[in-house]
Amino acid sequence: MTIIAYVSIFYFGSIFGSFFTVLGTRIPIKENFTTKRSHCVACQHTLQTKDLFPIFSYVCHRGKCAYCTTKIDALYFTSEIISGFLACLLYYFYATDVLQLVALASVFSLLLVISIADYLYLLIPDRFQLLLLFGVVFRQAVLPVADWSAAFISFFVIFSLLFFTCLALPDGIGGGDVKLLSILSFTFGLEPTLFIILLASFSAGSYFLHTHMTKGSSLQRRVPFGPFLAAAAVVVHFAQVLLIH
């Protein structure tokens, strides 16, 4: 029964992941995500219901468009898988605390949408940041013991630290990343946010070196830092949860 429940939760999460991909791919380029039907970006063919099953459709068509056989970006498949896993993890740790579950699901969902936007367009739209801000305030409000003064202090410290780093090193961290980390620090706290920065810097640096050495990339494209920050935030959060358990 437990396995069936988790498989169902995983697939339920992957359906949301599919929707988050639509948000992350369309909103930054101001494409309508409510009326315009899903289509292949290569041949523009409108996708049928059978092409829209998360994970299955991608696997059945071997990662290619069913109409023109153009390779589909693994981003769609990856975000569906990640979303499914996150849904299972949240259910495992927060099934008895629905408000925390909803708040964290909102924060992690927005982090996924932000990662997709940053990965594709190297930008994090302010409207996503604003929604994330609502998400972290909501999460802070439903914490069993919420320390609001610590939340404001960590927000202020992280923002100041990164803002001046951004001024001193304009080619370093981007403005979107400064906002993202400041918002996250509000609910994650000062020390965990510093861990997030360390972990994200290390993983982004490793990815950068790996890409450079294996593909001989000319490195003309900036490495999006948002997905690394988002992934590090999720890892640090669950590491903290496990430590407390």
Contacting positions for Zn ion (CB under 5 A): 40, 42-43, 65, 67-68
**Shortest Cβ distance from residue 37 to Zn ion (Å)?**
14
Q: In angstroms, rounded to a whole number, what is the distance separating the alpha carbons of residues 157 and 52?
A: 44
Number of H helices, E strands in the chain: 9, 0
C-alpha distance from residue 207 to each of 113, 148, 212, 215 (Å)? 21, 36, 8, 11
Pick 69 or 165: Cβ nearer Zn ion: 69
As measured in angstroms, the least distance from the Cβ of 117 to Zn ion is 23
Tell me which residue of 18, 23, 45 sits closest to 34, measured CA to CA.
23
Nearer to Zn ion (CB atom), residue 69 or residue 217? 69
Nearer to Zn ion by Cβ, of 67 and 163: the residue is 67
CB of 72 to Zn ion, least distance (A): 8
Q: How far is the CB of 70 from Zn ion (least distance, A)?
A: 5
What's the min distance (Å) between Cβ of 77 and Zn ion? 16
Q: Which is nearer to Zn ion, 42 or 102 (CB)?
A: 42
In the bound state with Zn ion, the residue whose beta carbon lies nearer, of 66 and 223, is: 66
